[in-house]
Each structure stands twice: as structure tokens, then as C-alpha cells.
Amino acid sequence: MTEPGASPPYARALITGIGGQDGALLARHLLAAGVEVDGTYRPGGATPAWRLAELRIGAEPGLHLHALDLADVAAVRGLVAATRPQAIFHLAGQSRVAESFADPLASIAANGGSTVHLLEALRAEATDAHFVLAASAEIFGRPAASLLDETTPPAPATPYGVSKLLAHAAVGAWRASYGLRASSAILFNHESEWRDEAFVTRKLTRAVARIALGRQDHVLLGNLDAARDFGYAPEYVAALARLAALPAGADVVLATGRSATIRDFATQAFAAAGIALTWQGRGADETAVDAGGRVRVGVDPALLRPVDAPALVGDATKARRLLGFAPQVDLADLARRMVAADLEREQRA
């Protein structure tokens, strides 16, 4: 087992998608451990500033930012050759299930194609590095099992799930075919104060903050019955760092083993702002009202997905054994942290 507090055995790491929640949090974690970090972001876009600034790592001397088009095979190989990382964390890609329905080919390229490009760069330029992929529980789609682990047969039900399965399968194939140290972390939902507002959890906590401050009346959501395994992102990226320290590649599920619906998360988020909700109605007519009878949550049918897995809950037994992974932040604590951060942002703004 990798000790949770142990320093990584690698001195330099490459993180794709450093501007996202996981990339920024992982960069903070590695920099604090003395690891030099190279991070990539999309060319033509803004330098990944706000998360790095809030995490107070934007000016760290050990952090180096690079614009990189992951579809450019030569550029990917060139960056790996130039930076010579001992660990590569592939966190970039198309990360929203809803977007994949509109442009499935882009999802396949962004998630599957980019993974193959990086694995080939690793094979050519950094064969001793440990490659870690951020895979997704969406590869399971509509499983029959109640708890999902590394042995659960994948059966993606969305274009996003297919794209992530392609990436996950590529890691296993390159590991078996070429002997690479390549790992796939099958990540279940993991949220934090630095989650993008396009995700329902952050959409909720920002709305709660604005409602508490009188700047917004209510929030509209999609499927309130969708159940997920919600964890805290900083605990998950710490596990990714430990995964890259293993002597050989492995596939591991990172999850809490607890299920909660979007309705549950909304209840906890409003409670964190001192607003108790009462739920009434069903389906598209369901609403939540506060103590004064004002509607605070409603359902927008336009936000319902064509396909939505009813429940995805993970069994992280293997991660506990290999990585010492033991998530501590529960749903109520997660909601409190996120609402507090959004209240602070709103008051500052």
C-alpha cells in the first residue's frame, strides 16, 4: 500500500488540463510535495488563471504552463520530450455528459484520441514515466450491480461514456502490449469549491449563495432522481498522485460507496445557507419550497438527458488497499464547503 502522507518518488509531473478542477487541485498537491509541475491548457483559450489564483499557486516557481493541442500528435510528443516528466496525469478532455450528446465525435476525439496520442508520446519519449488517466464511472452506463468495481463489465450508455471507455481500454491495451506503467483511475463524481458552474453541484451551490443574498429567486434543475456517488475532489487527486507512485500500472475505482440523489444534494446545499426545503409534486412538476412557501427549486424538462444512469455507486476496496484511499468528507460537509466558497465569491463580487 502507498502511504497517504508519503512524498512522491517522482520529481517532475505533466498535468493535462491544469485549468480544470482536478488539474488545479492536483498541481497544488504536487507542488506542496516538492514536485515540479508542467501543466497544459488549450491553445487560443485564456491561461488557466482563476483556479490557480484561488489556490494561490499561479506564481509558484515550480509551475510551468504550456498551451497544447492534444490533437496535434507532433506537439504532444514534443512537449513530453522537452519536459521529460516522470509522471503524466491526463485530466484534459471533454468532461460534460450533456455536451457529448450534441457532438459525440468531438467527445471521442477529445477523450479517446488524446489518450492514445499521449500513450504513444510516452512510449516514444518517456518509457519510465507512470501514466495516469482520469477515467469515469460513466463507462458503466446502466449496470445491474449495486456496487461497481474494477471487475464490473463496462456498458456505456452515452457518447461521453463511450469516449471514456475508449481511453480506459487504451490504457489497459498499451500497458499489456508495450509494458508501459499506465494506470486508469475510474473516478466517480467528485466535487469541490472549484467545480465548473456547468456541473449541477456547482450550479446549485452558486444559486444557493445568490438566493441567500437575495440576488436570485430559484434554480431550475433536470433529473432530481439521478443518484450519484459524490466525493470531495481534493481527496481524489491525492489518490491520483499516489497511484502514479506505484511500481506498476493498475486500474482502480475511486468512490465513497455512498449514493445520493440530486434532490439530496440540493437539500444539503440549501441547508448550508440556513434554508430548509420542503419537496412537493412529482416528475416535471416537482418543486421545493422554503419555510415561507416560496419556490426555490423547480424542474426544467429541457435539462433532462436523453439517457441518464439511475444510480452509479463505486466500491473502492482496491484503492483502499493500494493507495490508502479513505474519503472523509460526506455529502453535508461537501455542500457546506461549496456553499461557503460561493457565498464568499458572491459577497466579494
Distance CA 278, CA 280 (A): 7
The grid coordinates listed for 232 are 470531495
- Helices (H), strands (E): how many in the chain? 12, 16
Active-site residue, selected from the candidate residues 36, 41, 125, 138: 138
332-342-217 Cα angle (round to 5) = 90
> Is 160 a known active-site residue?
yes
Distance CA 40, CA 310 (A): 34
Contacts of 165 (CB under 8 A, 6+ apart): 139, 154, 156
Burial of residue 177 (CB within 10 Å: 0-12, 13-18, 19+) is exposed
With beta carbons less than 8 A apart as the criterion, state whether 49 and 20 touch.
no
Query: In terms of Cα–Cα distance, which of 270, 267, 264 is closest to 230?
Result: 264
Distance CA 3, CA 83 (A): 27
> Is 178 a known active-site residue?
no
H or E element: which one contains 134? strand 130-136
16-19-8 Cα angle (round to 5) = 55
DSSP string, 281-313: S-GGG-EEE-TTS-EEEEE-GGG--SS--SEE-
Q: Helix %, strand %, coil % for the chain, to 5? A: 40, 20, 40
Active-site residue, selected from the candidate residues 10, 41, 160, 236: 160
Give phi and psi for 140, each to the nearest 5: -90, -20
Distance CA 200, CA 73 (A): 34
Distance CA 86, CA 84 (A): 7
Q: Which residues are catalytic?
A: 138, 160
